[in-house]
Amino acid sequence: MLYAVFGNPIEHSRSPTIHQLFARQEKVDLIYEKRLVTHTLAQALHDFENDGGLGANVTVPCKTEAFELSSQLSERARMAGAVNTLFRLPENQGWYGDNTDGIGLVRDIQRLGVSLHDARILLLGAGGAARGIIYPLKEAGAHISIANRTFSKAQELSDWFNIQAIEFSDITPSFDMIINSTSASLNQQTLPIDNQVFANAVLAYDLVYGDTAFIQQAKQAKTALCVDGLGMLVAQAATSYALWRGFEPDIEPVLETLKKS
């Protein structure tokens, strides 16, 4: 039973560790590889299929190509315009494409005991990461306002998902949650948000995992709960695994193992 994660770069991926821990829970042996995409995902998937590959995770920069290559799509993948999970359909029907990023985030927030029903969320950033999470958050009952340095990009997602777009200068301390999907954390940059906006929020959540500049900013402003994206990573992987295997892994022990490593 062969599975893999595709991307470039890919060496840093923790997906093999996560999925092997899931397989241990299911009490099965499977192979889960890292596959570097040097040319096209189409060629890499062709080779994978010839090797007997059954399912795959897809990371940057291949999620849009995975969307285009999918024979069938889930609604959340269609809304996101990107695919991060592929499942091989029977009888050479191609690949089923899903996007588990948003549902992974929803599951992790629920795991933390925070309700999304009627929650007022400030979503920072309007790139691919934001696109992947908006639909599941709305499905969970959240009300989303999106802010981005380039306002026109926020407006595009506002029109597509029927949410509110706001300028950074118009952000007020009126949100229950702040979710950071910008690349600022990767560069350890802080965002131009008043401390009171953080102080009034119940949850500050960074999609990147680690002690990011965003998390530090939220902690300094005394946000009640400051969380990085490790739980989302494990939860989205669990959703992928359930799609492939029909087995629902327990997220909590895997998360604890990763925190210790």
pLDDT value of position 261: 81
φ and ψ of 181, to 5 deg: -115, 10
Cβ pair 166, 146 in contact under 8 A: yes
> What is the homologous superfamily of the domain 2-99 according to CATH?
Leucine Dehydrogenase, chain A, domain 1 (3.40.50.10860)
Distance CA 126, CA 107 (A): 21
Half-sphere exposure of 54 (CA within 13 A, CB side): 12
SS3 category, 83: coil
In this structure, CATH architecture of domain 102-230: 3-Layer(aba) Sandwich (3.40)
Residues 6+ apart with CB under 8 A from 193: 124, 168, 171, 178, 217
Indicate the pairing of strand 164-166 with strand 143-147.
parallel
Sorted by where each begins, the domain ranges of the chain are: 2-99, 102-230
Positions marked active-site: 63
Mean per-residue pLDDT pooled into runs of 10, the chain (261 residues): 96 95 98 96 96 95 96 96 96 94 97 97 95 96 97 96 96 97 83 94 94 94 96 97 97 94 81
Compute CA 178 distance to the chain's CA centroid, rounded to the nearest angstrom. Answer: 15
Contacts of 160-166 with CB under 8 Å at 24 or more apart are 160/79, 161/79, 161/134, 161/135, 163/134, 163/138
Distance CA 27, CA 29 (A): 7
